[in-house]
């Protein structure tokens, strides 16, 4: 949902339930009042509590990355449309583009390494639409977006 909100997407919901199901976050199907993340979930093999890791595993990680890719470069459904015009306006300045998307998607700055890598990657693209979509994809598929710290 955060990727859809970040792109001012409009949709009738077609196919979104399939993506949500693949990510183990089916609408109206959370098992408890704590949503999909039980507050006492202990990360396997540790003594650390990590509620979000109840449903975050290699399978759901790939499903989330695939959704980010489909939204940025493909099609989620014929009735889901995103509006990236705000990001296109920033695409001439890759650092500003990345910082804007990071603020919306990660609610704060990316790590220095991730920020630098993404800026370098989008700077090497000459088409502003590709820059905006690539930045959206790279931040939307990053570990810093996938699991909030």
Res. 51: pLDDT tops 90 = no
Residues 6+ apart with CB under 8 A from 56: 146, 147
Determine phi and psi for 42, rounding to 5 degrees.
-95, 130
Within its chain, how far is the Cα of 76 from the centroid?
14
Domain co-membership, 6 together with 66: yes
142: in domain:
yes
Which three-class secondary structure state does DSSP give residue 78?
A: coil
Predicted confidence band of residue 29 (pLDDT cuts 50, 70, 90): low
Q: Are residues 58 and 121 in the same domain?
A: no
Q: Do 139 and 72 contact (CB within 8 A), yes or no?
A: no
Asked whether residue 78 is assigned to any structural domain, the reply reads no
Give the Cα separation of 63 and 14 in Å (integer).
17
When divided into structural domains, the chain yields a total of 2
The answer to whether residues 6 and 69 belong to one domain is: yes
Rounded Cα distance, 19 and 25, in Å: 9
pTM of the shown model: 0.83
Q: Is residue 79 part of a domain?
A: no
CA distance 79 to 118: 29
- Kind and range of the H or E run holding 79: none
Per-position DSSP letters for 73-110, written without gaps between them: HS-S-TT-B---HHHHTTTTSHHHHHHHHHHHHTSSPP
Express each pLDDT in 71-127 by its tens digit.
999 888 899 999 999 999 999 999 999 999 999 999 888 899 999 999 999 999 999
**Residue 33, pLDDT score:** 62
């Amino acid at each position: 949902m955060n990727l859809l909100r970040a792109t001012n997407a409009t949709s009738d919901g077609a196919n979104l339930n399939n993506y949500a199901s693949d990510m183990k976050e089916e609408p109206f199907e959370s098992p408890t009042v704590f949503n999909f993340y039980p507050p006492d979930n202990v990360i396997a093999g540790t003594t650390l509590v990590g509620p979000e890791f109840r449903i975050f595993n290699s399978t759901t990680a790939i499903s989330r990355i695939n959704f980010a890719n489909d939204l940025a470069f493909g099609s989620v459904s014929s009735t889901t449309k995103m509006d990236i015009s705000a990001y296109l306006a920033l695409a001439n300045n890759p650092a500003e583009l990345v910082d804007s998307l990071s603020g919306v998607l990660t609610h704060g700055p990316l790590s220095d390494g991730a920020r630098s890598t993404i800026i370098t990657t989008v700077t090497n693209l000459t088409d502003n639409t590709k820059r905006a979509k690539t930045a959206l994809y790279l931040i939307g598929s990053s570990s810093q977006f996938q699991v909030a710290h």
